[in-house]
Structure 1
Amino acid sequence: MQRRKYLKGMATAAGIVTVSSTGNAQVWDSDELSKGEEPKNPSPPRKGDSVMGLTDQIDTVNVGIIGLGNRGFSMTQLIDAMAPDKGVIKAICDIREKPVEEMSDWIKEEGKNDPPATYSGSKNSWRKLVQRDDLDLVFVFTPHQAHTPMAEYAMKKGKHVAVEVPAATTIQECWTLVDTAEKTQKQCVMLENVCYFDIEMWVLNMVRQGVFGDKLTYASGGYIHNLVAEYFFEAYWKDWRSKNHRKYKGDLYPTHGLGPIAFYMGINRGDRLEYIASQESPETQLTERAKELPEDHWAHGADDWANGDTTRSEILTEQDRQIHLQFDVKTNRGYSRKNELAGVDAYHEGFPSQLAVDSEGHGFVDDATYDQYYEEYRHPLWVQMEEIAEEYGGHGGGDFLEIYRLFDAFNDGRPPDMDVYDAAAWSAVRPLSATSIEYGGIPVKFPDFTRGDWQNKRKLQVMDFDTI
């Protein structure tokens, strides 16, 4: 009944947009919707078997790494920490020779891996790395628009793939990843590190242990981080960051906020993302900063920024739960991922982390009570591995745990914590939010990348404590 009311309400507005597997949008106007037919996104026919639950037992994972920029360099250092027992680095690549040489030297000094093969100096050097016949897993740490082409090529060459966020930038790319993974029967895991942060995993454990009650109703997440000054650094304007803001609308970086929420709500594991409606504010901050730049700066006076200061999206799930997402890297506010979650019996919000469990509505618990919940419900992965995670670091240890869990899944022959369907659904927010903005903020329907398999209430692997 609630869903019919929701759809009827949308029918009286501007309409609903569906998006084909090639990214073409179709508007269903209010007259069509008022007839009671619910619009659907057609899914392309499967080119292979589902990869839900796919496993591949590999005693020692042989790794190739593409991209050694700021993120790639630090993540490669964490990957090196997996050697020699869990995995070894066989080859590294970057278009620039200097970071390849520096990383090769660093690996040699650490002494855990044998010196890796190196590839650099050409835009196609990465292809030579992928073509090696001694690799099990390829990591992709490159600009956003390169993620899907590199992941697709690696899977077709018989490699599993771990790719940085977002895994795809268009709906067609999302389907490319899903179809390729199913056809090749290879894993394509998006490296959403926030899912492994201490507080997020604590909240997840409380959800699974019933602290929030038997139903979750609402969540809010985002990426709020003032980066205006950084977008004009030479290292940034030469690559993809500023270009994205000049060219694209929508939530360009949705997965840090959405990933943990998807875990809380069991998205693709009994529920799915169904509709998104997005709006954006005017753009002011980059234009104003550009006025202050020297005349010989590349961005002096630039006022053609496509992306607004703030993008807000409202998502409805199949189970009628609401998710609010915000993308804001321009306004003057403190860093936040929001991390708000409401259930029947409890509420949490982050930055700073606060918990409410009093159904009488007297606000957040005091510090002593908060500490009691933290100690009782802290995720076993953090209880067991806090010392080593913090030693190796990476966002307080979250990066290390993310890499560790991926290697451990292959070593044990179990499914990874995240799969290609998660990568596609979470990444789809970027193009779908842009489509909604283009059509005046009306709802856009999510494709079902699982082709109906989301209804299977499969286990979230990181909550299987027997594997920790």
Structure 2
Amino acid sequence: MGVVTVSHTGSARQRGNGNNGKGQGPPDETPPRKGESVIGLTDQIDTVDVGIIGLGNRGSSMTQLIDAMANEDKGRIQAICDLREEPVAETETWIEEEGTNEVPDTYTGSKDAWMDLVERDDLDLVFVFTHHRAHAPMAKYAMEQGKHVAVEVPMATTIEECWSLVDTAERTQKQCMMLENVNYFDTEMWVLNMIHEGVFGDQLNYASGGYIHNLVAEYFFQAYWNDWRSKNHREFKGDLYPTHGLGPLAFYMGINRGDRLEYISSQESPESRLTQRAQELPEDHWAHGVDDWANGDTTRSEILTNEGRQIHLQFDVKTNRAYSRKNELAGSDAYHEGFPSELAVDSEGHGFVDDETYDQYYEEYRHPLWQQMEDIAEEYGGHGGGDFLEIYRLFDAFNQGRPLDMDVYDGAAWSAVRPLSRISIEHDGAPVKFPDFTRGEWKEERELQVMDFDTI
């Protein structure tokens, strides 16, 4: 089966039989660099002045965590924006009555109101909490206006958008970080620290992650039908939400830090669950009988890294399975799987360690960030404290003048799974080559910032 390559504009070409390993592959599709690399980029800012775009369910909850940064003078919210007037007013009231921040300026009522916010000259950092397809255009414009950007997952929805954000970051020398909160969860950081301390051995061979979450009922609320969630499932094949599962695995395996994602091959099952649910609705229901869903019930992807390691991803928001991100990792000396979290160490086929031994590993290898900040993280909350730690680390990086934990190359590589999985499915599961967004710099091993304990 031929290998598919994707140009920086998103066009796909299939060539010959290719080579899915480390040897001779298809011709390089990497465009020339238009600026300078932003690996290791820093900008020291004592108190980060912030603008926030998007105040829906996610944006409003994250705004409360961002507001908490004013407690330690780490950052200040200067402006907030949403197309709708109601969430802007509600957020403004919350900040005034319960928040730490001074009441910010507000932007609303116009589809271009967010541009007015971005064009202010008193902002250092812009957060983007809008629907998926607005992420890349807003982030690009913000960087062009001299702002750093933190954007919700995924950072981009097409390969062209991924390259646009990489090129813009390099040209403007501004940070563009994707807010993958799962990388900051307690269990994921515990596994990462065990890798760092050698518990998994000298070689990591296989990992599995995903987003498994039955959301069928939610796609038939009126609000959901009219917004981007339902439209995505009606219009696009592929893994629409890959980064929660992939992000931690990429940290585990040092992706873009000595290894890289090389090829992806994806397949999907037939679609049935949303059509079935639509048929069961009353005839006067607005979604009765809808059957034009493009996205299958389950999408599975196999990724091969440059070092020959395997990553399995699954996207399933329709079948009746319990919530899971899988979080499986196999090394030469240990194995972990999530939901529930289990650990096997030198088991020789005898299964997982008992509860007492598990607790011993947890206490000994818990990540120092969680050891030091558990109480405050749980106080502010957000997915058990992971959201707070994500925001705290972002502001702290600017305050200290150190590189961010995740850069634009990470966001681009992880987000690329969405369009590449679609292309693979449309080519009958053919392997599709990942673009090299780092332009070769992935070969240079470098430590993850969250593993530099001097910065914690």
Please give the per-residue CA displacement for 1:82-106, whole angstroms capped at 9, x wherever unaligned. Answer: 0041000000000000000000011
* Deviation at residue 295 of structure 1 after TM alignment: 2.5
Would you identify which runs of 4 or more consecutive aligned residues in structure 1 move more than 6 Å?
Answer: 31-34
| Correspondent of 2:344 among 353, 356, 361 | 356
Partners of 1:237 and 1:294 in 2: how far apart?
Answer: 16
Task: Kindly indicate whether residue 36 of structure 2 is the aligned counterpart of residue 57 of structure 1.
Answer: no
Q: Which amino acid aligns with 2:47?
A: T
Q: Which amino acid aligns with 1:162?
A: A
| Correspondent of 1:428 among 401, 416, 420 | 416
Give the secondary structure class of the aligned counterpart of 1:30. Answer: coil
Task: Kindly indicate whether residue 193 of structure 2 is the aligned counterpart of residue 205 of structure 1.
Answer: yes
For 1:60-459, what aligned pairs fall within 5 Å after superposition?
A: 60-84=47-71, 85-459=73-447
* Deviation at residue 33 of structure 1 after TM alignment: 9.6
Q: Which amino acid aligns with 1:43?
A: T
Q: Which amino acid aligns with 2:231?
A: K
* Deviation at residue 292 of structure 1 after TM alignment: 1.5
Please give the per-residue CA displacement for 1:240-286, whole angstroms capped at 9, x wherever unaligned. Answer: 00000000000000000000000000000000000000000000000
TM-score, structure 2 normalization:
0.98
State the match for 1:15 in structure 2. 2
- Identity over aligned pairs, percent: 79
Partners of 2:338 and 2:399 in 1: how far apart?
Answer: 34
When residues 280 and 374 of structure 1 are mapped into structure 2, their CA distance, relative to the original with a 3 A threshold, is: same
State the match for 1:4 in structure 2. none
Give the secondary structure class of the aligned counterpart of 2:301. Answer: strand
Partners of 2:54 and 2:27 in 1: how far apart?
Answer: 38
Contact 1:341 1:348 in 2 (8 A): yes
Please give the per-residue CA displacement for 1:102-143, whole angstroms capped at 9, x wherever unaligned. Answer: 000111113521110000001111000000000000000000
Partners of 1:254 and 1:202 in 2: how far apart?
Answer: 21
Contact 1:41 1:445 in 2 (8 A): no
Give the secondary structure class of the aligned counterpart of 2:274. Answer: helix
Partners of 1:292 and 1:301 in 2: how far apart?
Answer: 8
Aligned CA-pair RMSD = 1.3
When residues 31 and 278 of structure 1 are mapped into structure 2, their CA distance, relative to the original with a 3 A threshold, is: closer
Partners of 1:32 and 1:346 in 2: how far apart?
Answer: 30
When residues 33 and 277 of structure 1 are mapped into structure 2, their CA distance, relative to the original with a 3 A threshold, is: closer
Give the secondary structure class of the aligned counterpart of 2:106. Answer: strand
When residues 410 and 69 of structure 1 are mapped into structure 2, their CA distance, relative to the original with a 3 A threshold, is: same
Partners of 1:216 and 1:31 in 2: how far apart?
Answer: 26
Q: Which moved more, 1:192-201 or 1:298-307?
A: 298-307
Task: Kindly indicate whether residue 16 of structure 2 is the aligned counterpart of residue 29 of structure 1.
Answer: yes
Partners of 1:31 and 1:370 in 2: how far apart?
Answer: 44
Partners of 1:223 and 1:262 in 2: how far apart?
Answer: 15
Partners of 2:178 and 2:64 in 1: how far apart?
Answer: 18
Give the secondary structure class of the aligned counterpart of 2:70. Answer: coil
Partners of 1:359 and 1:116 in 2: how far apart?
Answer: 56
Contact 1:41 1:448 in 2 (8 A): no
Q: Name stretches of at least 5 consecutive residues in structure 2 with no aligned partner.
A: none
* Deviation at residue 425 of structure 1 after TM alignment: 0.1
When residues 31 and 266 of structure 1 are mapped into structure 2, their CA distance, relative to the original with a 3 A threshold, is: closer
Partners of 1:297 and 1:115 in 2: how far apart?
Answer: 42
Please give the per-residue CA displacement for 1:411-453, whole angstroms capped at 9, x wherever unaligned. Answer: 0000000000000000000000000000000100000000000
